[in-house]
């Protein structure tokens, strides 16, 4: 429960408890706190047993920790053979190639298999600024819009 508390923090808590409650009342406070924690644990255990008994025999191995999504996923992924296949499939997938093929299909271009620096040799790099040398076709001028 308190596995992440170091020795220095524990000493600081003891000194703080002595200062707050005093050396005379400290044993009674520790007994009261330990009794309260014990009752909360008993209540929690009895509630868990009641829930298990109400769920029936098919949920006999049910653990409440499985309700945590991370724990549930970890347990499901441990013995899963499809995970290896997924990793192999992920290794064969090339996102840049797929994106270039989609862009070529959208722009009705033939896809060139040769690549230079990750882009197709015959296609321009779409991320770089393009020079506008083709000024023969200008958009129509609308005098009412200006």
Chain centre to alpha carbon of residue 141:
52
pLDDT tens digits along 79-129: 666 666 766 777 777 778 888 888 888 887 765 555 555 555 555 666 666
pTM score of the predicted model = 0.41
- Token digits of residue 38: 């014990």
pLDDT band at 31 (very low <50, low <70, confident <90, very high): very high
pLDDT band at 1 (very low <50, low <70, confident <90, very high): low
Residue 126 · residue 107 · CB < 8 Å? no
- Token digits of residue 27: 């044993």
């Amino acid at each position: 429960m308190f596995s992440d508390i170091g020795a220095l923090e524990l000493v600081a808590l003891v000194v703080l408890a002595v200062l707050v409650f005093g050396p005379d009342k400290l044993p009674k406070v520790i007994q009261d706190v330990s009794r309260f924690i014990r009752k909360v644990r008993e209540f929690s255990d009895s509630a868990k047993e009641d829930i298990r008994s109400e769920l029936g025999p098919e949920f006999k191995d049910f653990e409440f920790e499985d309700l945590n999504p991370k724990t549930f996923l970890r347990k499901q992924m441990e013995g899963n053979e499809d995970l290896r296949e997924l990793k192999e499939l992920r290794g064969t997938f090339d996102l840049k190639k797929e994106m270039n093929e989609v862009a070529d299909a959208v722009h009705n271009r033939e896809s060139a298999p040769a690549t230079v620096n990750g882009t197709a040799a015959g296609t321009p790099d779409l991320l770089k600024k393009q020079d506008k040398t083709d000024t023969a076709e200008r958009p129509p001028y609308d005098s009412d819009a200006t």
